[in-house]
Amino acid sequence: MAIGSPLIASERHDDCDLAQSRPISPDLVQMVLGIFDYAELEASNHILAPLLFTTFVVLVVLILMNIFLAILNDAFSVVSERQKRAQNLGGLFKAIWYKKVSAND
């Protein structure tokens, strides 16, 4: 979308220079949050705008899902490691306890 924005801006019939136009990054962040005017995008270029918009949305969804799954995977590995340590320590304490109980008999 950032690559296509100058192309879409050139299709608009505004008398604005690319160097004087506003930055693209805030617009992309707003699109991630769902704040955008699709009618304005489509009016600027009927072919390129829907293609770039769909590509951007699909990529953002895939990237955010990948980040979410990475967080879940890290949390799962931490919890499973703690559980393994707890089972190992539990088994160790049980063995020591049974050794002491059997030695007292």
Count up the domains in the chain and report the number. Answer: 1
Quote the CA–CA distance of 71 and 65 in Å, as a whole number. 10
Q: Tell me the longest C-alpha to C-alpha distance in the chain.
A: 97
User: How far, CA to CA in Å, does 56 sit from each of 34, 65, 95?
Assistant: 12, 14, 58
Is the predicted pLDDT of residue 21 greater than 70, yes or no?
no
Q: Are 8 and 41 in contact (CB under 8 A)?
A: yes
Range of the domain at 52: 5-80
Q: Which of 60, 73, 52 is nearest to 3 (CA)?
A: 52
Q: Is residue 90 part of a domain?
A: no
Give 27-66 pLDDT, tens digit per residue: 777 877 777 788 888 888 888 988 988 898 899 999 999 9
pTM strictly above 0.85: no
Average pLDDT over residues 11-37: 66
Query: Residue 46: phi, psi to the nearest 5?
Result: -70, -25
Banded pLDDT at 69 (limits 50, 70, 90): very high
